[in-house]
Amino acid sequence: MLALGVVALLAACGSGTTSTSTTASGVASTPSTTGTATTVTIAPETNAPGDIPDTTAYVPYSNVPGRYTFSHPEGWAQTVQGTSVSFTDKYNGASASVETATAPLTPASAQSAEVPKLQASEPAFVLTSIAPVTLPAGPGILIVYRRNSAPDPVTGRSVRQEVHRFVIYGNGQAVALDLFGAVGADNVDPYAKMSQSLRFP
């Protein structure tokens, strides 16, 4: 009778409601739970996908309905839709679009008008800075922020990008010029060439 009682007690202690699984490496793991789906901020690449080479040639582009021109790296893929245009090469790019405006944006007006739109439209948006700027084309602001890139159509892979968004006023309108590349890429000089080339003919 005593022996039977010991066996029953051991069997009861061995049965419980918590279970674990063992991985191929022999490490025990417990099941995880998933919360509400959110956009995950992608970590910057250890090696950025690429700088715009110093030897790159630049060619002019003119958008007649948008009444603006600027230069972009030669050979980049072009997409035009009315007053908007984009030029891309892998994760680097330049795009321009027209916005209704009656005066140049200030950092305060950009914070209240531009930033909420970017927060709503850009994946994993993080604001870095807002500053006033004056280009040959006119006055405006420069917004620097980070986002996740659109997935690559072949690999489905995204990278963390930094965007320099110039919103420049002239001819009774504003042109938003977005210059972007992978976080960590050194594109200061190419961005200066493109932004300085913006004109309202």
Give domain status of residue 149, yes or no: yes
Render the burial of 116-135: b for 16+ CB within 10 Å, e for the rest. Answer: eebeeebeebeeeebeebeb
Looking at residue 49, what is its pLDDT? 67
Looking at residue 36, what is its pLDDT? 40
- Residues with Cβ < 8 Å from 79, sequence gap 6 or more? 85, 86, 87, 88
Give domain status of residue 76, yes or no: yes
Looking at residue 189, what is its pLDDT? 96
Structure tokens at 3: 């022996």
Residue 152's pLDDT band, with cuts at 50, 70 and 90, is confident
Give domain status of residue 112, yes or no: yes
- Total structural domains within the chain: 1
Percentage of the chain surpassing pLDDT 90? Answer: 69
Alpha helices (H) in the chain, listed in sequence order? 2-14, 107-121, 188-196
| Cβ(149)–Cβ(158) below 8 Å | yes
Give domain status of residue 43, yes or no: no
What does the pLDDT look like over 11-62, one tens digit per residue? 444 444 444 333 333 333 333 333 344 678 777 655 556 899 999 999 999 9
Give domain status of residue 82, yes or no: yes
Give domain status of residue 107, yes or no: yes
| Domain boundaries, position 75 | 58-196
Q: Report DSSP state, residue 46.
A: S
Give domain status of residue 78, yes or no: yes
If you average pLDDT over residues 107-129, what whole number do you get? 97
pTM for this one?
A: 0.77
Give domain status of residue 119, yes or no: yes
The CATH number of whichever domain residue 111 belongs to comes to 3.40.1000.10
Q: Go through the chain and tell me how many residues it has.
A: 201
What does the pLDDT look like over 50-94, one tens digit per residue? 899 999 999 999 999 999 999 999 999 999 999 999 999 988 999
Instruction: Flag whether pLDDT at 7 surpasses 50.
Output: no
User: What is the residue-averaged pLDDT of the chain?
Assistant: 84
The residues facing 86 across adjacent strands are 79, 95
- Residues with Cβ < 8 Å from 101, sequence gap 6 or more? 169, 172, 173, 174
- Residues with Cβ < 8 Å from 72, sequence gap 6 or more? 58, 59, 61, 87, 94, 194
